[in-house]
């Protein structure tokens, strides 16, 4: 197992609906890679802030009389949560995506196997890219860590780092 890339960052609500892209070189001879991804916090714990966000956003998605009925029961929309997802590109293009709600994930991509959402196939040397898509950042900030490890045939799966 060898570390190919590590990154950490912090996103804020103004960064919702944006992407952060990391490029890293994948050397010759590896059988695959494992992506470890974590972010925190997952949930917005501040109920007053959650109510404010719900009341601000609901009119964009519905009209009266549904809007008034919805806002009477705004608490049914709780909990509000951050949502960050991953996609992967190899030197030839799209290799897969993990649009999961879990704030702690591990994904494996190799010649003959791949985690759900990713494509098995050649593990070409060259520049690979991981895109973190910030679908929603509802907390004051949301920290993340990303680690990519490379592995050779026969090496044990290294799970979450």
What Cα–Cα distance (Å) separates residue 93 from each residue in 18, 32, 36, 112? 20, 16, 21, 18
pLDDT, tens digit (0-9, with 9 covering 90-100), for 66-87: 999 999 999 999 999 999 999 9
Q: Which CATH class is domain 2-43+81-151?
A: mainly beta
> Phi/psi at 123 (nearest 5 deg)?
-105, 80
Look at residue 156 in the predicted model and tell me its pLDDT: 56
Q: How far apart (Å, rounded) are the C-alpha atoms in residues 5 and 49? A: 36
What Cα–Cα distance (Å) separates residue 153 from each residue in 35, 77, 146, 161? 17, 46, 23, 19
Tell me the pTM: 0.91
Q: Beta partners for 3?
A: 149
Look at residue 153 in the predicted model and tell me its pLDDT: 78
Give me the residue spans of the domains in the chain: 2-43+81-151, 48-77
């Amino acid at each position: 197992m060898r570390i190919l890339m590590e990154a950490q960052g912090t996103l804020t609500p103004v960064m919702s609906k944006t992407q952060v892209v990391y490029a890293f070189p994948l050397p010759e001879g590896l059988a695959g890679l494992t992506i470890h991804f974590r972010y925190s916090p997952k949930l917005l714990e501040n109920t007053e802030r959650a109510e404010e966000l719900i009341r601000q956003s609901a009119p964009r998605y519905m009209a009266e009389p549904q809007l008034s009925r919805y806002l009477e029961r705004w608490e049914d929309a709780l909990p509000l949560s951050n949502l960050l997802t991953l996609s992967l590109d190899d030197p030839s293009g799209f290799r897969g995506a993990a649009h999961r709600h879990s704030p702690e994930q591990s994904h494996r991509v190799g010649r003959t196997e791949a985690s759900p959402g990713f494509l098995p196939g050649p593990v070409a040397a060259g520049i690979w890219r991981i895109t973190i898509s910030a679908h929603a950042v509802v907390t004051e900030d949301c920290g993340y860590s990303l680690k990519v490890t490379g592995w050779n045939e026969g090496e044990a799966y290294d799970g979450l780092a």
